[in-house]
């Protein structure tokens, strides 16, 4: 297994241990902590199994939501072989969200490598045919309730022709995409030239970024190594990072604050992180990347500690997600 996967699994394992240790403390505090004034829309959760024996059910996800004043959670499929040993399908996400329509919001996903590139020739094994076939499938998922596409986590360069075909289809049907960008999945390099190519090519497509390569680019000194690892100790952010340059240039770029990448991007340099959140509050979305029962989510305490203005909290906790996903 590559070092990037080891880093992520180490984080998840330590979070799980910390979660178990902290259950009693959180339970003791539950009676003391008043309900959050601003209810959350969580942009990033999963259902199913990511690690053997740690299956997350809708009941388990809603338990986390109730404990942290989360009104609604977005459920993201994981279907590409680079994402997990245990696929989490679009159809299982749609079914779970239909059963809990007041709390869960489904996304859809497919892998661009699983389709036939010539739309004029039939495919005998049922693969999707080009952009028209993708558009047709996406419209069907929209009819079933899908509000976005992702988690787009594919082992191709971010602007590979196959990936660009997905973005074209999504722009056509007006569905936002939540993507994973590191050194393997949606791969890019320092400066994020591949991401910029996609943003420039599809200016009407809202693109929500996530993972260590994306968030390492908050700092101008990001290196190739940082695209596969998390900065687990305090580390000053060098101003002028590629992420902020792209945010300033492309209004269709959004940021998913979940996952170790999103957490460490803000926590590594708290003074810079707080100003970043305030500066880009219109395009940041709170998320947990909740994967398994009793997983510790440090993001709650982090954002409470930032003492953000109330209007900023409203935007990142809920308004941006409601607007972007047209939740009403």
Q: Rounded CA gap, 57 and 291, in Å?
A: 10
Tens of pLDDT along the chain (328 residues) come to 343 444 554 554 444 444 333 333 333 344 445 566 899 999 999 999 999 999 999 999 999 999 999 999 999 999 999 998 999 999 999 999 999 999 999 999 999 998 765 545 656 556 567 888 899 999 999 999 999 999 999 999 999 999 999 999 999 999 999 999 999 999 999 999 999 999 999 999 999 999 999 999 999 999 999 999 998 789 999 999 999 999 999 999 999 999 999 999 999 999 999 999 999 999 999 999 999 998 999 999 999 999 999 999 999 999 999 999 999 7
Q: Please tell me the predicted confidence (pLDDT) of residue 89.
A: 96
Q: Please tell me the predicted confidence (pLDDT) of residue 87.
A: 93
Q: Please tell me the predicted confidence (pLDDT) of residue 319.
A: 98
Q: Please tell me the predicted confidence (pLDDT) of residue 1.
A: 34
Q: With helix as H, strand as E and coil as C, how does the chain read? A: CCHHHHHHHHHHHHHHHHHHHHHHHHHHHHCCCCCCCCCEEEEEECCECCCCCCCECHHHHHHHHHHCCEEEEEECCECCCCCCCCCECHHHHHHHHHHCCCCEEECECCCHHHEECCCCCCCCCCCEEHHHHHHHHHHHHHHCCCCCEEEECCCCECCCHHHHHHHHHHHHHCCCEEECCCCCCCECCCCCHHHHHHHHHCCCCCEEECCHHHHHCCCCCCCHHHHHCCCCCCCCCCCCCHHHHHHHHCCCEEEECCHHHHHHHHHCCHHHHHHHHHHCHHHEECCCCECCCCCCCCHHHHHHHCCCCHHHHHHHHHHHHHHHHCCC
Q: Which of 133, 128, 159, 134 is nearest to 149 (CA)?
A: 134
pTM: 0.89
Distance linking the first and last C-alpha atoms of the chain: 43
Q: Please tell me the predicted confidence (pLDDT) of residue 125.
A: 53
Give the chain's domains with CATH numbers.
Answer: 3-325 (3.20.20.140)
């Amino acid at each position: 297994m590559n070092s990037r996967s080891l880093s992520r699994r180490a984080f998840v394992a330590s979070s799980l241990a910390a979660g178990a240790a902290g259950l009693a403390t959180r339970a003791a505090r539950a009676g003391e902590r008043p309900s959050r004034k601003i209810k959350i829309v969580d942009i990033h959760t999963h259902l199913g199994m990511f690690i053997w024996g740690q299956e997350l059910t809708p009941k388990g996800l809603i338990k986390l939501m109730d404990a942290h004043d989360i009104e609604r959670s977005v459920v993201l499929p994981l279907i590409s072989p680079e994402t997990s040993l245990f696929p989490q399908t679009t159809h299982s996400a749609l079914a779970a969200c239909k059963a809990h329509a007041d709390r869960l919001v489904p996304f859809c996903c497919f892998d661009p490598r699983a389709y036939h590139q010539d739309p004029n020739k039939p495919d005998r094994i049922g693969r999707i045919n080009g952009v028209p076939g993708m558009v047709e499938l996406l419209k069907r998922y929209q009819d079933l309730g899908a509000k976005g596409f992702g988690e787009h986590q594919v082992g191709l360069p971010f602007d590979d022709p196959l990936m660009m075909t997905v973005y074209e289809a999504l722009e056509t049907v007006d569905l936002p995409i939540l993507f994973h960008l590191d050194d393997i999945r949606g791969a890019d390099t320092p400066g994020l030239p591949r991401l910029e190519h996609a943003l420039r090519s599809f200016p009407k497509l809202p693109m929500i970024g996530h993972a260590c390569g994306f968030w390492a680019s908050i700092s101008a000194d990001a290196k190739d190594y940082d695209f596969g690892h998390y900065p687990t100790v305090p580390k000053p952010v060098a101003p002028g990072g590629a992420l902020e340059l792209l945010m300033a240039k492309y209004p269709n770029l959004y940021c998913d604050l979940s996952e170790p990448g999103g957490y460490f991007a803000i926590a590594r340099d708290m003074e810079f992180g707080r100003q970043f959140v305030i500066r880009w509050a219109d395009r940041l979305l709170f998320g947990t990347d909740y994967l398994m029962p009793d997983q510790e989510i440090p993001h709650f305490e982090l954002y409470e500690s930032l003492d953000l203005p109330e209007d900023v909290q409203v935007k990142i906790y809920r308004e941006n997600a409601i607007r972007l996903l047209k939740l009403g």
